Structure formats: structure tokens, C-alpha cells
Chains A and B, each alone.
Chain A
Amino acid sequence: LQRELEFAKATSTQQTLTSEAKVTSYNNFYEFGLGKNDPRENAAGFRVDPWQLQLDGLVDQPQTLGYEDLFGFDLEERIYRLRCVEAWSMVIPWVGFPLADILKRAGVNSSAKYIAFETLFDPKQMPGQRSRLGGGIRYPYVEGLRMDEAMHPLTFIAVGVYGKTLAPQNGAPVRLVVPWKYGFKSIKSITRIQAVDKQPPTTWNLAAANEYGFYANVNPEVDHPRWSQATERRITRGGLGSDERIATLPFNGYGEQVAGLYQGMDLQRFY
């Protein structure tokens, strides 16, 4: 089902990659079930082709990208650390292109201050969206970034992982990856990207504002109200006892590149 991609390979990394088996079997994707092991099973028949990714809002040239268009960019591999708000992390080789590439193509107006994202809404294919209770969050899943965050070279649109097109449970066919923010910011199976002038609503913030902020930058100093964010369990490979618990770094270790975006901001308040 997944096909091989052609891309510029990442230069090697010192960090142990999380095994492909774990990347594709331990997923938070409530649209396909609440348990981490559910999405792989429930998303198995998910149709990603045809796909429509709409790019509109305050842009000069609104566009609609079809499935094949998603792979028409200069694809490159990026090995990123993914830090989940639940205090576990992985190291994942994504394939894709900077979000800025696609935004430049549409020509974002100067009046646009934020980028808003939306996941596919298709209750027929996504059992989680069918249930009235839906796992306690509203659908479709929405996310957002400030314009400077969206344009940052680290902010990435992934169309593949481990050299192949994305598996459905990883957000096929197209997802966001923002490595210095908690994983829930990296919205999956995107159908709409919109340039807007006001801070857009975000799903987990709507569900529990005291626990999940708009920025959601990885920050060991700001604990989740129910658990510490000072450390994380790095999931790599192997069974019980093979993970290491390591210190969590500010901005997930990408501070050198992104701390400047938040100069003068009180990150305890804007968590």
C-alpha cells in the first residue's frame, strides 16, 4: 500500500531512530480510536487517493492540490525528535518539504497573521468522528501556527516516513511536523490550510484550555497540570526495559533555531 519515495536523504544522526514498527503502531489519532494501538488497525482501509488539500484564505492564489501534487515538491528527509505532551518521545525520519514552500506558492498576504489547519472530516472512514462522544474532542481536528512559526524552515509538511508514503495512522497522505512543539500540534491528514488574520482555535485548547495552550512549545519548566514535563521516556526499539528516561530540553532541543521567535514572551503564560 505504501509506495517508495524519491528524496534527498538526511545526513546521519547520532540519535537512535525509533523503529519503523513502533512509529507505525503507537499513535495518537482519535479519529481512528482512543487506544494507541487502535489507529493502525482502524485506519488500514483509509482512502488517501483521491485527496484534496485546499490552500486558501488571505492568499493571492488559492489552490487545490490533488494527491499526486503533494509529491510534486522537492522532497527531503528530516530526522526530527517528536515529543508527545504525554511525556514520551520518538526520533522519526520524515520525508516532505518545508511548509514555507507551499505557502510561498500560494502567496500569503501581509494581512495574514496566522495559518489554520484542518483534518479531513469523514465519519464514514473515521470511526472516532461517528461517535457522539468522540473521545471528548471536537471534529474536525483543527490546529494553528503564528505566521513566523509557519514560515520557519524547521516547520515541515510530511508526505512520507521511513522512505515511503505515510501510513494512514501516521496522518496520510499529508501532515504537519513542528519539532519544537508537543506532538498534538502536528496535525494529521490535512485537507485545508488557511491564511487568517486572527489566532485560530485549536482542538486540544478547546478541549482543556488549562492543560493545552495555543503555543504548546516543549518546555521542561512548565508542567502539565497532571504530570511533570521535566523528563521524557524515549521510545526507540525493543521490549520492556529498553527505553531510557531522559531530560526534556527547552523547545525539544531546537532552541537555538526557534527561541528567537518567542523573545520577550512569558512562556509560563503562553504555554
Chain B
Amino acid sequence: MPAKPPKSAKAEKILDRTIDFYRLLNELPLGVLIMDRQRRALFCNHALEAITGVTAAAVQGIACRHVMRSRVCLTACPAADGKLSENVCFETDVINRDRRRIPVRGTLAPIFDAGENPVGFVETVEDLRPLKAHGEKANQAYRFGRVVGQSPQMEKLFRIVPVIAQSDASVLITGETGTGKDMLAETLHQESERAKGPFVKINCGALPETLLESELFGHVKGAFTGATENKQGRFYLAHNGTLYLTEIGDLPLPLQVKLLTFLDDKIVYPLGATKGFAADVRVVAATHRDLARMVREGRFRQDLFFRLNVLRLHIPPLREREGDVRLLLDHYLNFFAHNTNREVTGYASKAMSLLLAYDYPGNVRELRNIVEYAVNVCREGKITPRHLPAYLGEERQRLTPVDASRESTEVPVDAPAEPAAPPTDGTWPMAERRIILEALVKARGNRQRAAQQLGWARSTLWRKMKHYGIDTP
């Protein structure tokens, strides 16, 4: 056994006192699972709850493999024989309760009592998502996190983002749909001192008001009909991290009041609870709506707008980013060619002219989709106009110099949050939907053949068919 380190007088004073062990573990940014000798869970801390989605109360007595669901647990558990003499470190993945696969680094270590007898195990778990994302992208120029750009507008944004990341104030991100608000929010988190903490995202427009309140703030057992157990809200899960509220413009007025109260006193009151929870959460909000206009129309609280608008980042639409279209075209070509193992080497000059002349109403997301389509259709050599969606050429002729739908960067308050399926005419999703339908008609409804024609995997085809609401018998 290694000798105990000598303690200073001050350390002696602290360490000889009774310490609240569970509280100490809950303060750690790493997930911690404590198990007995049979590897049944005894305790898990808040960080592990955020990674796996389990609750400490629910996992007690459950075999660790059901709690962690890690690949290593199930295929090569280091403590399979119940013995472990020293720490084991491994990289693996887990599937959490939100059905997401998360890369993690785990360290399993034995726990001994004062008499050197093994009494159980402790496993620490580190979420590797930020590290992986950072590692993959760090060596590339003209980018900040996952946001790519070299235009003066983006350079200005990149200069200010690190400063804002270091601050703990609320941030409001604005920009048209497809400009990369979600990516920027995640980058802000990864570059902040909260990077080790959780990044929790919630779409304020995706849930009805009552559900959203419970999802955000949690509820206690018996708070309403059907509340059969306590539920921790996203604020609780984001403790020591960042809560990203996307589509904040869709947040119902009553919840705006509750959010404002939180921003003021930093205490979360779950539905039906009398006691609050002091959550250390940074709030980042995003919207494609014009909040100032919504305030004038009485649809968004002015006081909340002022609280969120402490730091504001506006992502310009792609058509205003000089030189970025070319950069992004090359970037996504490399990305998709590498990921799909296609020998696509570049763009033929005619295809490039078409791509540079198009003004991308769907912004970076649309550009990315166009390149993905082209790489899948082209397969090898250079991308020519026939590998591009047909609407690119048509659109150029159809659009008048000032397109009424986009003459202002302000998005109408009543505009839908995202282009919903089935999409509107003249957009990339519409073209893609049409291409899928044509392939299905050609293949007489046979998805396997349709997928082959499109140069996609069958799973890609069904995912896209599902997205566009296409069903075949």
C-alpha cells in the first residue's frame, strides 16, 4: 500500500473533520459510480446522471452494466471476476436514456476499507464529446470550433466568441435558419470554463407549454395527474454547465416569467415543489425571430429580452459572407468525400460557377446538403453540373434580382421555426424530395433499387423518406 501523504496542519484540520461525501462527489465534473463487490450500483453523482440520464435513486442495487451500458462493460468488463488490483482506464461508448451514443473515457478502480479489504469499485466517467469534436477540428484554419469561415464578418465573430465564452453572462444568438446557431452555442460552451460540465439543449418550440415547463424545471411526485415520480428538469441536468434554449422566441409567456425569475435569483423551483434548487447554469438562447419586434408586439417580455440580450452574437447569412461559399464548398467536399470513401477530387468550372452564383436561402445547412448530394451522386472525379440538384440552374433564372422573400434579414415573427416537411417550393429539401420520389417511381417503389440509383445506403433513404413524410406500401 502506498504511504499516506504527509498532511499539513491546515489539511489535518480539514481532513480530520467529517466531510459530506455525497455532496463532495456531486460537485465533481466527472461522472462517478460507486459499486459494491458484486458491481451493483450504490451511488451515482450528478455528472453521471447528466451523461447517462439515470437518477441516483433509481439505480441503487442495479448491476452496473445496466446503469452504464458501456461497450466495455458488456464485452470486456475489467472486473468480470469480481477482482481488480489496480486502476484500469479505457475508452468506450455508452447509450444514454435519450438514446444517444456518447464516447466516454472510464476509469475503474477498487475501493478498500481501512483494513485493506476490497469493499467495492468506483468508476469515473468523462464525456469525450467536446474533446473529440475539438480534436477533429483543431488543426484546421479559418474555423472556431465547428464554425467555418474566413469572411471579415466571420473573422469579427471569431474574435469576439472567445471573449464571450470566458464570460458567464447570458448570451443571445441570432441568425437566419441554417446559419449555425446550434454549433456556435456548443462552441461557446466548449471554449468556456464550463466545458467539463454538461451542455444541455432544449428546443422551446418543440413541446407544448405544460410539458415544456416540466421538462425545463422538473416536477415533484404528485404535482399533477400522472406525475408518479420526481423528475429533474433540464436546469438541474445542466448544473455546472450550459443550458441552451433554442427557438427562445417560441417560449410561451408564462414560462418567460419563470425563466426571468431564474435568471434573477438562479434558483429553480420544480413544479409542485416548495423548496428550490440553486442551479449554477449559464443560459445561452438562440432564435431566428426578431425578438425586438416581438417585444413591440407584446409577444415577448421586454425584461426577459434585456436579460438575455446581455451579450449578443449575430451570425450573418451566407449570402453576406464574402468568400465563405468557396471555403465551405471545399470544406464539405473534403468532409463528405472522406466520410463516404468517394474519390471526388473537386468541382468542374461550370459546376463551381453555378454554386458560386446561387445565393443559398437555407444558408450553410443548404450548402452542406447540396455538397452531400453532389458527392453521393458523383462518386468519383470532378463534380459537374449534372451532379448538382437541378433547381440550382432553374433558381438562378427564376429569381428576380431582389427576392421578395429575402429582401430583409429580419424574419417575420409569424414565420415557422424551421422549414417543416413537406418543404416549401424552390428549396433544396423540395428538390431532394422530388429526386427521391422520382427514384422511387423509377424503381417501382423498390427502396433497395431506389437507394442504389441515388447512390445512397438504404438506411439513408429511409431516413430521408421519413423526414419528408414519404411512405411506400
- Chain A complexes with chain B: no
Where the two chains meet, the residues of B that have a C-beta atom closer than 8 Å to any C-beta of A are: none
